[in-house]
Amino acid sequence: MTTIQTVSVGLAERSYDIRVGPGLIENAGGEIKPLIRGNKVFVVTDSTVSGYWLDPLTESLDAAGIEVTTIAVPPGESSKSYADFEYVCGRMLEDGVDRRTAVVALGGGVVGDLAGYCAASVMRGLDFIQIPTTLLAQVDSSVGGKTGINTPQGKNLVGAFHQPKLVLADTGALASLPKREMLAGYAEVVKYGLIRDPAFFEWLERHGADLIAGDEAARISAVVESCKAKATVVAADEREAGLRELLNFGHTFGHALEAAAGFDGTLLHGEAVSVGMVQALELSRRLGLCPGQDAERARAHLMAMGLKARVADISGAAGWSADALLTSMRRDKKARDGNIRFVLARGIGEAFTIDDVAPDAVRTMLEEDLLIAADV
């Protein structure tokens, strides 16, 4: 039997554990019961995940004496919206929420972000449990307390910091993921190697294919190492005043690409991050900050795994404009006084922030990317 591993996020009185391994959903009741103040939870999920994991979760919660009310939203990025935020909060208020009620997010990053923002808002803050069922959510979005929704102006621009009481990363749930979703999550795993841990990146070069193919030990190792990396950063900089900005490597470009694609499923978040990381490394190379071989090594690995690595790999990108992408990037949460703040790299494992990149250098690179897309 595989041993469940625990990673702790040290935030004083708001510290919590990330539990990693198979079978955690079926045993969630025993994990959650000691941490909540009442006996009622709202399980927020989507209509795809519910078909796989809602019944075993509900059975476990029922066995622990926890009353369950389920709220399901449509799958996909479009559910991170004002309308779905209003719907979920309204359901909670109609169905008897009180300040001892807890919210359980069962699903991927969209469900976790939406449910967490609702938990942060209803009654000015409810206890919150994350049960991420995608690789991306297990290694990134479920950890650290960022919650929120998208707006017509961009991604994650409305939300709150609201830490969970517990994260249950059931690696068995990854067996139900389509390969495209696994690869999207894998991009966030690669990010941890690229920003601070070249040895982890080397490990991924050797074992990444096994992880995607279903090797349980490789999956558990990748989730644990990713969570350790993020927990260390979050404990040092919970509100993203400095160090935590490094976790946005690839995201300044990536969020702009997502906004251009329209949050309609054409471009998954992890796919956008994959392209965005390659762009960040390429910009670093052009500025004389990063060796060309490091930028190429990262691009080659992402491509070898089957991820998108160029703007030209994105359907519909030929019709985009560099100025529109730059406008989205200026709305990025790291921007200061209208200046784009980038996370770049001096090499693999050497990410840093910079806010004095000439806009013309960025525009030129984007225009070249879009010209290539137009020729494909």
pLDDT at 125: 97
Distance CA 257, CA 231 (A): 27
- pLDDT per residue as tens digits for the range 176-191: 999 999 999 999 999 9
pLDDT band at 1 (very low <50, low <70, confident <90, very high): low
Residue 81 reports pLDDT greater than 70: yes
Mean pLDDT computed over 56-81 = 97
Mean pLDDT computed over 271-275 = 98
Residue 311 reports pLDDT greater than 70: yes
Residues 13 and 119 in one domain: yes
User: Residue 22 sits in a domain of what CATH number?
Assistant: 3.40.50.1970
The residue range of the domain holding 330 is: 179-375
pLDDT band at 338 (very low <50, low <70, confident <90, very high): confident
- Name the domain boundary from 159, 176, 193: 176
Residues 250 and 365 in one domain: yes
Region of 213 on the Ramachandran plot (φ > 0 left; ψ -120 to 50 alpha; else beta): alpha
Residues 91 and 107 in one domain: yes
- Name the domain boundary from 146, 176, 206: 176
- Name the domain boundary from 143, 176, 209: 176
Distance CA 298, CA 21 (A): 28
Residues 167 and 29 in one domain: yes
- pTM exceeds 0.85: yes
Residues 192 and 107 in one domain: no
Mean pLDDT computed over 359-363 = 95
Mean pLDDT computed over 217-246 = 96
Catalytic residues: 124, 146, 188, 230, 240, 244, 248, 251, 255, 269
Residues 166 and 239 in one domain: no
Count of domains for the chain: 2
Residues 195 and 338 in one domain: yes
Residues 93 and 222 in one domain: no
Contact 162, 119 (CB under 8 A): yes
Residues 297 and 251 in one domain: yes
Residues 272 and 358 in one domain: yes
Residues 193 and 315 in one domain: yes
pLDDT at 352: 97
- pLDDT per residue as tens digits for the range 120-174: 999 999 999 999 999 999 999 999 999 999 999 888 999 999 999 999 999 999 9
User: Residue 295 sits in a domain of what CATH number?
Assistant: 1.20.1090.10
Which helix or strand (DSSP H or E) is residue 301 part of? helix 292-305
Distance CA 157, CA 329 (A): 12
Residues 52 and 158 in one domain: yes
pLDDT at 333: 77
Mean pLDDT of the chain: 96
For residues 308 and 339, which has the higher predicted lDDT (pLDDT)? 308
Least Cα distance to 131 among 165, 156, 99, 161 occurs for 165
